[in-house]
A and B are shown apart, each in its own frame.
Chain A
Amino acid sequence: AQSVSQHNHHVILSEAASLELGCNYSYGGTVNLFWYVQYPGQHLQLLLKYFSGDPLVKGIKGFEAEFIKSKFSFNLRKPSVQWSDTAEYFCAVNAKDSNYQLIWGAGTKLIIKP
Chain B
Amino acid sequence: SQTIHQWPATLVQPVGSPLSLECTVEGTSNPNLYWYRQAAGRGLQLLFYSVGIGQISSEVPQNLSASRPQDRQFILSSKKLLLSDSGFYLCAWTPPYHTDTQYFGPGTRLTVL
A contact set with B: CB distance below 8 Å: 4, 6, 9, 32, 34, 36, 43-46, 49, 51, 90, 92, 94, 99-102, 104-107
Complex-state Cα separation, A27 to B104, whole angstroms: 25
A9 to B102, CA, bound (A): 23
Which A-chain residue is minimally distant from B49 (CB atoms)?
Answer: A101
- Chain B interface size band reads 10 to 19
Q: Contact: A102 with B106, CB < 8 Å? A: no
Partner of A100, one of B41, B99, B103: B99
Asked if residues B101 and A46 are in contact (CB atoms below 8 Å), the reply is yes
Known contacts: A43-B106, A44-B90. The answer to whether A100 contacts B43 by CB under 8 A is no
Chain A residues contacting B49 (CB-CB under 8 Å) are 101
Q: Mark B23-48, 1 if CB is under 8 A from A, else 0.
A: 00000000000000000011111100
Q: Are A104 and B104 in contact (CB under 8 A)?
A: no
**Given contacts A43-B107, A44-B90, is CB(A104)–CB(B44) below 8 Å?**
yes
Instruction: Report whether B99 and A104 are in contact in the complex, using a CB–CB cutoff of 8 Å.
Output: no
| A104 contact set on B, CB distance < 8 A | 43-45
Report whether A101 and B100 are in contact in the complex, using a CB–CB cutoff of 8 Å.
no
Task: Judge if B52 is at the interface, Cβ distance under 8 Å.
Answer: no
Q: Is the CB of A102 within 8 A of B102?
A: yes
A32 pairs with B41, CB closer than 8 A: no
Q: 6 tightest A-B contacts by CB?
A: A104-B43, A100-B99, A44-B104, A104-B44, A106-B43, A32-B100
The reply to whether B41 and A51 form a contact with Cβ atoms under 8 Å apart is no
Interface: B105 (CB within 8 A): yes
